[in-house]
Chains A and B, each alone.
Chain A
């Protein structure tokens, strides 16, 4: 079963709910190594997205995601605004005109989103950022697609790989973002951006499960 336009809308609505529920958790993760605003920023951004959704009825998935991207850019104050904004804009470009997404579409959208984040943040894997959740997620998606495991298996593996990538940020030394000012003191903390990336992907898996 493909991901439809309706699924996309349900996903975005549920992401807003999940990020609202995890607002304090994400902000707690961000307090020792950042500026303690990640939960607040993501919650504010996705509440703004939810307000835009009714106006998007009937639009294709690409246009919907592009609107999500530009909304996040203008409403999320921290680094996650330009980063998630770019990710959704690029995923929207990769799905332009589509009303249904199959495994190959998910792979190309995830790839476009990750490339966008890496270009915008000039980040590479291993720097304790959202890239560390998304890079293994993309690898898992590619592998699942090559093995024709089907969409729900693919999404499950993407979610699991993002979770493992998120946990792998704990022992990392931050060299990007506000955490990099802390140097060695950034070690031992889970990255908030990697955590929100996992939450967003996990929510898609659950919506399609």
Chain B
């Protein structure tokens, strides 16, 4: 098994696109689920969709959640609290779900690679958050 990934975005299309991009790097070895938009299909985030995505990718190695903006954080925190409330079996164990502060696209791609080679949730989360300082353009410092 590998660490599962959940991609949360206000836009369903953006979430699907990031899943596609990260999935290419993971080559089928990592469960990645999109939770984009509201249940009515408009821009926004949905606690229910995020919760469903958490269940979809759940496994013994845990889950890393990557997200886009603002309320995605709050909606994800609520979904994770609900998810963990149903999992007494995980009590006292190491963190099972981590919400990443990494930029969505770079973070998801790095996390997919790290997860696909069998790294632990802590390692995948740390590698993804390294994307915050990863220079995108090497020739200029801007």
Contact = CB atoms under 8 A, between A and B. Distances in A.
Interface of A: 35, 37, 41, 44, 73-75, 77-79, 81-83, 85-86, 120-121, 177-178
12 contacts: A37-B44, A74-B47, A77-B42, A77-B43, A77-B46, A79-B70, A81-B75, A82-B78, A83-B74, A85-B78, A177-B70, A178-B69
A187 B38 CA distance: 29
Interface of B: 37-40, 42-48, 69-71, 74-75, 77-78
Given A74-B39, A77-B38, A77-B40, A120 B69 contact: no
Contacts of B78: 73, 82, 85-86, 120
Given A74-B46, A178-B70, 20 more contacts: A37-B42, A44-B40, A73-B47, A73-B78, A74-B47, A75-B39, A77-B37, A77-B38, A77-B40, A77-B43, A79-B70, A81-B71, A81-B75, A82-B74, A82-B75, A82-B78, A86-B78, A120-B78, A178-B69, A178-B71
A121 B78 CA distance: 11
Given A77-B38, A82-B75, A37 B43 contact: yes
Nearest to A41: B44
Main secondary structure of the interface of A (DSSP, over half): helix
A44 B70 CA distance: 20
A151 B17 CA distance: 54
Contacts of B44: 37, 41, 77-78, 81
Contacts of B77: 82, 120
Contact of A121 (B45, B47, B74): B74
Contacts of B71: 78-79, 81-82, 177-178
User: By CB atoms of chain A within 10 A, which of B44, B46, B74, B77 has the most?
Assistant: B74
A86 B70 CA distance: 17
A35 B43 contact: yes
A41 B10 CA distance: 14
Contact of B45 (A75, A77, A120): A77
A144 B82 CA distance: 37
Nearest to A77: B44
A-B pairs with lowest CB-CB distance, top 10: A77-B44, A79-B71, A77-B38, A82-B74, A82-B78, A178-B70, A73-B47, A74-B48, A78-B71, A82-B75
A92 B36 CA distance: 30
A83 B74 CA distance: 8
Nearest to A180: B70
Contacts of B39: 74-75
Contacts of B75: 81-82
A90 to B, nearest CB: 13
Nearest to A89: B78
Nearest to A79: B71
Nearest to B75: A82
Contacts of B43: 35, 37, 77
Contacts of B38: 77
